[in-house]
Amino acid sequence: MSKNDDSLTELFDKEGNQIGVLISADLWAQIKPHIKQFIPSEAPKERPEPIKDWEILKEYWDFPYPVDTDVHCEHCGTRTENWETDTPRKFKLASCNLGGLVSFKCQQCNARIVKKHFKNEITVECTPYIDEKSKNMEARY
């Protein structure tokens, strides 16, 4: 069997209809750049943490209490005293704005934790992760 036969295998169902082609990793690496436009777009990469926004919020912090860095996921129980210093991160910064709205993604269960900073208090909301596809079927609780 030649090397080419190993890198490309045509797949058939039991009726003999071709259902696909199995391509070796090596061959795929060579082919892929040339057929990009035919491949369904890959899953979007996770956006990088907007650390800059967080730095700006800290710089212009005008709440009557110190900057708070603790995050707690009510969904799976993960907690940290300082999300910035965890390695690996238990929570990833998802968004942050100067108004004091800071949201995190729990790395354990993907829940979204939103901290809202007000003049007198900090409120925290924890929303369990729901797969976009099953969103409509999922019962709300």
Phi, psi of 127, deg, nearest 5: -115, 115
- Interatomic CA distance for residues 83 and 57, integer angstroms: 15
Stretch that binds Zn ion, among 5-13, 29-37, 44-52, 71-79 (CB under 5 A): 71-79
Stretch that binds Zn ion, among 27-35, 70-78, 87-95, 128-136 (CB under 5 A): 70-78
Regarding 111 and contact with Zn ion (CB under 5 A), the answer is yes
Burial per residue of 44-65, b for 16 or more beta-carbon CB atoms within 10 angstroms, e otherwise: eeeeebbeeebeebeeeeeeee
Regarding 106 and contact with Zn ion (CB under 5 A), the answer is yes
Q: Between 75 and 116, whose beta carbon lies closer to Zn ion? A: 75
Q: Between 73 and 96, whose beta carbon lies closer to Zn ion? A: 73
x/- map, 8-27, Zn ion, by CB under 5 A: --------------------
Regarding 108 and contact with Zn ion (CB under 5 A), the answer is yes
Query: Dmax of the chain from CA atoms?
Result: 75
Burial (CB count <10 Å: 0-12, 13-18, 19+), residue 126: middle
Regarding 113 and contact with Zn ion (CB under 5 A), the answer is no
How many residues belong to the site for Zn ion (CB under 5 A)? 8
Regarding 114 and contact with Zn ion (CB under 5 A), the answer is no
Q: Give residue 113's region: left, alpha or beta (phi > 0; psi -120 to 50).
A: beta
Stretch that binds Zn ion, among 8-16, 24-32, 62-70, 109-117 (CB under 5 A): 109-117
User: Rounded to 5 degrees, what angle do the CA atoms 71, 62, 105 make?
Assistant: 25
Binding-site ranges for Zn ion (CB under 5 A): 73, 75-76, 78, 106, 108-109, 111
